[in-house]
Chain A
């Protein structure tokens, strides 16, 4: 059982470049989300989805786009990378319907923007 799979693990971009961070889960979870982790700031919610075709903004959505065409996949797109987007990105999923369902995290993508 793979759980939550993120690719790539590492990425270096130049300012202005665009890219997509991939996230897939095989647990049939309704809820998926993207967080970024920066030193001293914990994890901050970027975007989330409560099911296929439904997405919404989190705390820090600017500069990022998401879509959810299937239950399994929730890619995060950086439109025009900036140095401020250097961070570790985590994708998470949960059952969604049950309030006692924890978030299951992927292994993260470490992104550096130069």
Chain B
């Protein structure tokens, strides 16, 4: 059974600071996703990572993937209040895209 664990579950940080969210998964995967969810809203795709060593960046967010360690990270640079949201990693296996989600990391950026 594929398990996906994120840490921390809650993160309160000041504006301007850097921090990293970690995503560990238990078995070999085809691909790793990061999503953002604002309170009461739907999920928005941030990144899709497909191969070992993959790195993608969008604004203040950068995601990386280490398939050997079964670890993905989401790095936040110089956080701003608008980044406050819940971030989910998700892992896909198999050709039919069965996707398993982590429990999410709730990020609060304090002005």
Contacts and interface: CB of A to CB of B under 8 A. Distances in A.
A and B are interacting partners: yes
Interface in B14-31: 30-31
A90 B42 contact: yes
Interface in B24-62: 30-31, 33, 41-45, 48, 50
Contacts, number: 60
Interface residues of A, number: 27
Contact of A31 (B90, B96, B104): B96
A41 B43 CA distance: 15
Interface size class of B (residues with CB under 8 A): 20 to 34
B-side binding surface: helix, strand, loop or mixed?
strand
Nearest to B96: A50
A108 B40 CA distance: 9
A62 B42 CA distance: 24
A100 B48 contact: yes
Interface in A74-114: 90, 94, 96, 99-108
B43 A56 contact: no
Q: Which of B4, B96, B100, B104 has the most CB of A within 10 A?
A: B96
23 contacts: A31-B96, A31-B97, A33-B97, A33-B99, A35-B101, A44-B101, A45-B98, A45-B100, A48-B96, A50-B96, A90-B43, A99-B31, A99-B50, A100-B31, A100-B48, A102-B33, A102-B45, A102-B48, A104-B45, A105-B42, A105-B43, A105-B44, A106-B42
The 7 closest A-B CB pairs, nearest first, are: A102-B45, A42-B101, A43-B101, A42-B103, A105-B43, A105-B42, A107-B42
